[in-house]
Structure 1
């Protein structure tokens, strides 16, 4: 199968490409080339117009993301997340598309979120992702995968996990906001790739947005304790944290695709820390 991955040099795109190339003919589309190692068998393109063949499937990993300390303008978000998505759909109108979205489209809620929960985006990033989802889903053969916080070796530096790890490695101290009780959901890169691979191979139509989340949520203090134990660091509580906790139930996804996460947070963080310590 010929699989085109957009955002090929991103964290998800590069890891996905390297995994899929053993079973598929993988091609990549990128906006900015980065220092990412991808398999020699993968052909990459810098512009959509350079692609003269029709792939069997497209996995859209391209994204302009507001996360952590990164804040992008509304124009940047719309250009990448909406307009570029539409451009690809128009260029390949008859090709099946798998769009990688985000659980941020749900907004802040106290409810346990499922595949059938109604989106309520509360910022321009999540609004742009939902708008792109709607474009993709005009074709019933297409799929949307909403991922929770993606982590693993090579992840971006502007989110909580690398923040805690950097503090621990550099200062032997982790600052946790508030009392650390806020809970979040993390999905390891290997589990996300396994999910996407299953969707690519799935022959039946899936009539709901796929929910790529871990089976458990973890508090910030639990995360800090894992890292502190591995690095002999102390934990210091600072300030306050009024952020929402999020909870999920993705039974529909599990049953439809015979999928569940395999990488426990402790294992994933331990592997990431071992890699991270070598970067200093």
Structure 2
């Protein structure tokens, strides 16, 4: 894909990142409008309607509300920037333009659930359902792998996570994973196929372990409390989708020595 095409896709990610923020913020709050997608939690002041890209007023105001001077939530500006970056990476990595559609849908859904899980510690069923419906439609027309591979991946991924959750609950005598994480893997399986879905499970667990240890070491998280696992699932799935084939080949190459 040409450099200009990558830039255009990245800008689309920046614009759509605001929409993803809006869905994440408003999904269950019944606010009168989903635009502008962010507002100050203290004064309820919203950025001007002409500010389509919410990252810009955040940066130009120094991350503070122009109305009351309080710090704005940085997470949503970071979400827009991350979506733009991931859209650009997907455009750079994808050899197939049709498969780019699948990549952008994957990033869109995972961007939303990352925000909701970080903010409300929940992965909304309606977001997962929308993701699954979109994934089925996409894979009916765009499927580098046999269609049955994606179906098996959806069952295997969610089933494996369910088994891990049940084992963790039995060992620790408490709930270790929410149902939303398990349902999310139906969507991920439909998008990634068997090989990359299993790799994403490993990566999500690895990222979650590293993130949890770092938070505990920094004193930002108490032992015994559960961490939202959705962001680590998202990171593992996107990493596996964009770089998984190369990672698997590298690992198999090590085994061949």
- Report the TM range for the smaller structure's normalisation: 0.3 to 0.5
More strand by share: 1
Structure with greater helix percent = 2
**TM-score with structure 1 length normalisation?**
0.34
